[in-house]
Amino acid sequence: MSDANLKFAAREASAPPSIPAVQIHDLSRTYGNMTALSGLSLTVNRADLFGFIGSNGAGKTTTLRILATFLTPSSGRAEVLGHDVVRQADRVRHLIGYMPDFFGVYKDMEVTEYLDFFGACYKIPAAAREKTVSDVLELVGLSEKKGALIGALSRGMQQRLGLARVLIHDPQLLLLDEPASGLDPRARIEMMAILQELQRMGKTIIISSHILSELQTLCNRCAIIERGKLIYSGPVQGVREQMSETRVMWVRATPEATALHLLQQCPAVHHTEVIEGRIKVTLVSHDTDPAILAETLVKGGARLTEFRDDEMGLEEVFLQVTKGETQ
């Protein structure tokens, strides 16, 4: 870990770990006759890399903007590290770094000038700002672009600069709304690597994204919302077990015709389908023990050569448990 990373990690260690990073209680937000959030309750633990998942219009951005103190809730409350986002908004703003999906940059400014300006906004002493700017640039991999004009940077570099901006005052909680939006594959990978490093340093990160396959490998916990209501919150690994309506197994056995017949007669099987030499078996319940299938095949004289759980990804689960509805 670099000196810059050590410095940020040391600061983070001083914050009390017993208080959740975010606690949301029965949060609602309306715009006239439209309800953007409806009774949302959610907890984000310290040092989580938390994926916030939902269709466009589900309420993700509204939630993040309330946590960032830019919006007030219509009812309910939200706390950041124990501080109420309405009654203690000034304190909350010093604890968070908020990066919206689209943010403006001053294209005619140099990278260091831009960050120095925001450092001054956070009242970082002039004598300390140069070192602070250098540290955050090293952290996001832009040290070589210190003197570059922002307008000359690529989209990916501008996104990293935006991340450096929200890190300038060393916040404990990062609220990132679609940080990989519009980035090419390499830039997305680089951004995700930076976020993983920040989590290792103890930062708590809430990230909304439509790239669910990346959230699946990046985040340790997630929440799924639709029409402003919470559908799931918990470990990423638990989404499939808790939310999937069915369980699917992949089987390869010989002779195939015998195996297929045995599976079709098994009471634990809801549906079978042969795909490229393998049998896709949908069980009657997610709680059904798949060992019943193996026992049925072996006792029936079939030779089992492949037997594995279907690795349903976050995208498949999301499509299964949501309806794509918006407010």
What pLDDT does residue 262 have?
Answer: 95
d(Cα 61, Cα 72) in Å, to the nearest integer? 13
* Mean per-residue pLDDT, 143-158: 93
Tell me the CATH number for domain 3-238.
3.40.50.300
Chain segment 86-142, per-residue pLDDT in tens: 999 999 999 999 999 887 788 899 999 999 999 999 999 999 999 999 999 999 999
Q: Where are the beta strands (DSSP E) in the chain?
A: 22-31, 34-44, 49-53, 75-80, 83-84, 96-99, 173-177, 204-208, 221-226, 229-235, 248-254, 269-275, 278-283, 303-309
| DSSP string of 253-265, one letter each residue | EESHHHHHHHHHH
With a cut of 60, say whether residue 183 has pLDDT above it.
yes
245-311: which CATH topology?
Alpha-Beta Plaits (3.30.70)
Do residues 214 and 191 lie in contact, with contact meaning Cβ atoms separated by under 8 Å? no
What pLDDT does residue 9 have?
Answer: 46
What pLDDT does residue 105 have?
Answer: 80
What pLDDT does residue 106 have?
Answer: 84
d(Cα 11, Cα 170) in Å, to the nearest integer? 8
CA atoms within 13 A on the CB side of 319: 6
Chain segment 9-44, per-residue pLDDT in tens: 444 444 466 789 999 999 999 999 999 999 999 999
What pLDDT does residue 92 have?
Answer: 96
d(Cα 105, Cα 158) in Å, to the nearest integer? 8
With a cut of 90, say whether residue 175 has pLDDT above it.
yes
Measure the N-to-C terminal CA separation of the chain; round to a whole number of Å.
45
Chain segment 297-327, per-residue pLDDT in tens: 999 999 999 998 876 667 666 766 666 655 5
What pLDDT does residue 241 have?
Answer: 66
With a cut of 90, say whether residue 70 has pLDDT above it.
yes
**Mean pLDDT across the chain:** 88
Strand 83-84 versus strand 75-80 pairing type: antiparallel
* Domain definitions of the chain by residue range: 3-238, 245-311
Q: Counting every residue, how long is the chain?
A: 327
Chain segment 197-250, per-residue pLDDT in tens: 999 999 999 999 876 777 888 899 999 998 899 988 988 877 766 666 678 889
The residue type of 104 is G
Band of pLDDT at residue 6, cut at 50, 70 and 90: very low
* Mean per-residue pLDDT, 55-69: 93
Does residue 17 or residue 183 have the better pLDDT?
Answer: 183
What pLDDT does residue 1 have?
Answer: 41
* Mean per-residue pLDDT, 169-183: 91
The residue type of 65 is R
With a cut of 70, say whether residue 150 has pLDDT above it.
yes
d(Cα 230, Cα 12) in Å, to the nearest integer? 30
Against a cut of 0.85, is the pTM above it?
Answer: no
* Mean per-residue pLDDT, 166-188: 91
Chain segment 73-88, per-residue pLDDT in tens: 999 999 999 999 999 9
